[in-house]
Amino acid sequence: MSVFHNLLMSAAITEGGGTGSGNFSLWSWGYNNVGQLADGTTTNRSSPVQIGTLTDWTANIVASFNAIFAIKKDGTLWTWGTNSGGSLGLGDSVDRSSPVQVGTESDWYYVGRGQGVGYAINTSGELYTVGTNLTGQLGLGDTTARCSLTQVGSLTNWAGCTGGNNFTVAVKTDGTSWSWGDGNDYKYFRDSTTDYSSPVQSGSDTDRWGASSYPPSGGWENGIEMQKVLTAGYWHTNIIKSDGTLWGAGWNTLGGAGFAGEGSSPVQVGSDADWEAVSGGNLWGLGIKDGEGLTWGGYNNYGNLGNGTTSAVVGTHYSWGETVSQASAGLMNEQNQQNTAMIIGGELWVAGANGYGDLGTGNTTSYSSPVQVGSDDNWVKVVGGGRFMIGIKEE
């Protein structure tokens, strides 16, 4: 049985039987300068606060520095936070401090985010992008920004898409990987530094990402699984292939891709084939390997690696323990402040910078070793942005 089949079975348990029948609530905490906490205010929160009373959210949710995309159980797309460059897809550049529906469609399968960019794929396999476009990262053949979701070409075989600093990476249902935007430092998983404003295939492999196991027609449950195996950091990309091996490429001086050395070509992270999930921060990353949560790379100035120190060794993986079901890397903000969140047995554990209550621990104390947030054991998803977190609980 492949690792991806195992992931899908795990999602069926976590996501209410995989049929959308579970009830999921939305929570937020941390920095709130542009309304990214979705509580209708710009007030910072140091403990998780429920957003409204609805329980129709799903774990198909992503965050960039201060902007969020989320899919509800009915397949509708919602957004909030900063709207610089129109990246919320609402046809304007006005920030939102409460969730707002994007369009009227109810067939969304997958959402992703990059720096100032949003990505969405529907159950027909069509890819839509929105936001800033300085280097062609929207994949539309130009460098013109968009404030409404715009389809990339006319193909209907897109499976996943995400982005980093002015670049985009994507996969199709045939297992091929694609990239476009700023190619500097080989960060979008190609042996090239050329900029492209339209999708260009990355190599000829057809086993990347395991995308063929997750057709968009599978609905938002499969979209969650696609988010686990495809990630972009600020200057690097990681993928999990269909055989369960983890690969990385891009600027890797601090080991953010998961290994020591150059990342000008895709490099396998270790030799194991039991990777289940990966998440990229700015210059660092984390992943789940056979249920064990691991962190690596970056500066670790505030202890986000959870290794009990504020130092890091390039190429070293630090363990948070077993039975980790979901993990998220927060994004770097001023002074290289970052944080980590992992769900272990339904409990939420965090480490790193906490100047705005980023960690949800009820204070502003930074932690270099993992600490639990509250005592609840019904967390199913957490995503980190620039000094804030958004979480999903199963009710």
Q: Where are the domains of the chain?
A: 3-394
pLDDT of residue 46: 98
pLDDT of residue 26: 98
Quote the CA–CA distance of 224 and 214 in Å, as a whole number.
Answer: 10
pLDDT of residue 17: 32
**Four-point Cα dihedral 224, 386, 370, 276, nearest 10:** 20
Q: Cα angle vertex 166, ends 225, 191, to 5°?
A: 80
Quote the CA–CA distance of 352 and 358 in Å, as a whole number.
Answer: 9
Percent helix, percent strand, percent coil in the chain, to nearest 5: 10, 40, 50
pLDDT of residue 212: 77
pTM attached to this predicted model? 0.93
pLDDT of residue 22: 86
pLDDT of residue 161: 97
In DSSP terms, 113 is beta-bridged to 118
pLDDT of residue 18: 37
pLDDT of residue 287: 97
Q: Residue 278's CB: how many other CB atoms inside 10 A?
A: 27
* CB neighbour class for 176 (10 Å; exposed up to 12, middle 13-18, buried from 19): buried
The tens digit of pLDDT for each residue in 210-221 reads: 777 778 999 999
pLDDT of residue 186: 83
Binned average pLDDT, 10 residues per bin, the chain of 395 residues: 28 33 92 96 97 97 95 98 96 98 98 96 98 97 98 96 95 94 85 91 83 85 94 94 95 95 94 96 94 96 96 97 94 72 98 96 98 98 94 97
pLDDT of residue 141: 98
Quote the CA–CA distance of 382 and 376 in Å, as a whole number.
Answer: 14
Domain 3-394 has CATH 3.30.1180.10: no
| Contacting residues for 391 by C-beta, under 8 A, at least 6 apart | 26, 27, 28, 29, 48, 341, 348, 360, 379, 381, 382, 383
pLDDT of residue 7: 29
Q: Helices 220-229 & 3-14, crossing angle to 10 degrees?
A: 130
Nearest to 66 by CA among 41, 95, 44: 95
pLDDT of residue 2: 31
The tens digit of pLDDT for each residue in 267-303 reads: 999 999 999 999 999 899 999 999 999 999 999 999 9
Sign of dihedral through CA atoms 29, 32, 37, 43? positive
